[in-house]
Structure 1
Amino acid sequence: MHPILRRVIYVGGYEILSVLFTVLVLNGALGHSGGQATLTAVLLSTTATVWNYVWNTLFERAERRFGWTGRGVLVRLGHAFGYEGGVLIFTVPLVAFMLKVSLLEALMIEASLLVFFLVFTYVYSWAFDRVVGLPESAR
């Protein structure tokens, strides 16, 4: 499968499932209305997708500029924490505004979602690779 097509399918499936799960949590567990929960979930998904693109572009530029080669554990941890930290900077105020909750409540909601999505991402990526196959770079 062409790498771009593979990425589009991966991200599309991931974000559709992410929005569905987030709507269920916001609506079912936290009691926010269906429309409000759906709009919030779509905005969170869009924000995360845009930030993912920006963060990876900046990170790869830094790798080239500083001559970093390979991605060991420390580099991957730095990448992951930088991404997640950036997501929180953008999404906590968004959640507070959309759901009419305090910034602290929004941070708790986002922290809960973050824990879920760490596990979800691992499982989704594993399942995707099993169904679609590994990319050529990983073979």
Structure 2
Amino acid sequence: MSNFDRSPAERAFHALCFEVLAIGISAPLAAWITGRSVTSMGILTAVIAVIAMLWNMLFNWLFDRTQARYGFERNYAMRVLHTLGFEAGLIVIVIPLIAVWLQVSLWQALVLDIGLVLFYLPYGFLFNLGYDKIRETLAV
């Protein structure tokens, strides 16, 4: 099974697994770092997760199309680029939301989001490597 014939259902499954695990880890961590309540940060994290899930599906579809066109392998270097591209797009989308939710400046929201990115970069890299490996194993 190739990487570019993923169904919409599989894309949704991939994104949902990614976000559910991430919320479970990041909401309590964000509450601790910001001094906000776990409830407040949990809601914010969940909203960001929904946005991220939709972005994830679109970004991965675009990534698959790019791979189909140029034929590159999904090696470690490509997964690093994939993760960096995904996170850069997400930063642009969620900074205004964080600023409004926490009633802080865009600069403060960016600084806070950098902390989340420092979590999500290795998390996204490792999650996708694991997902690829599991998918490869199940396809055999």
- TM-score between the two structures when normalised by the length of structure 2: 0.72
By how many angstroms is 1:103 displaced? Answer: 0.9
Choose between structure 1 and 2 for higher RCO, CA contacts under 8 A separated by at least 6 residues.
2
Q: Which amino acid aligns with 1:70?
A: F
Residues 1-139 of structure 1 aligned to structure 2 (within 5 Å): 10-64=14-68, 67-71=69-73, 76-125=79-128, 133-136=134-137
What is the RMSD of the two structures over their aligned residues, measured on CA atoms? 3.2
The 1:36/1:10 distance shift into structure 2, 3 A limit, reads: same
AA at the equivalent of 1:20: G
Question: Does structure 2 conserve the Cα–Cα contact (< 8 Å) formed by 1:36 and 1:99?
Answer: no
- Give per-residue Cα distances to partners, 1:90-130, cap 9 Å, x unaligned: 01111111111111111111111111122223444566678
- More deviation in 46-55 or 29-38? 29-38
The Cα of 1:42 is off from its aligned counterpart by 0.3
Structure 2: distance between partners of 1:54 and 1:32: 31
**Secondary structure at the residue paired with 1:32?**
coil
Identical aligned pairs, as a percentage? 23
- Structure 1 residue 27: Cα displacement: 1.7
Alpha-carbon distance in structure 2 between the residues aligned to 1:43 and 1:28: 18
Structure 2: gaps spanning 5 or more residues: 1-5
How far the C-alpha of 1:20 sits from its partner, in A, is: 2.2
Separation of aligned partners in 2, 1:30 and 1:61 = 39
Partners in 1 of 2:53 and 2:32 — Cα distance?
A: 24
Aligned residue type for 1:55? F
Cα distance in 2 between the residues matched to 1:125 and 1:56:
11
- The 3 A distance-change label for structure 1 pair 13 and 76 is closer
5+ long unaligned stretches in structure 1: none
What's the TM-score, normalizing by structure 1?
Answer: 0.72
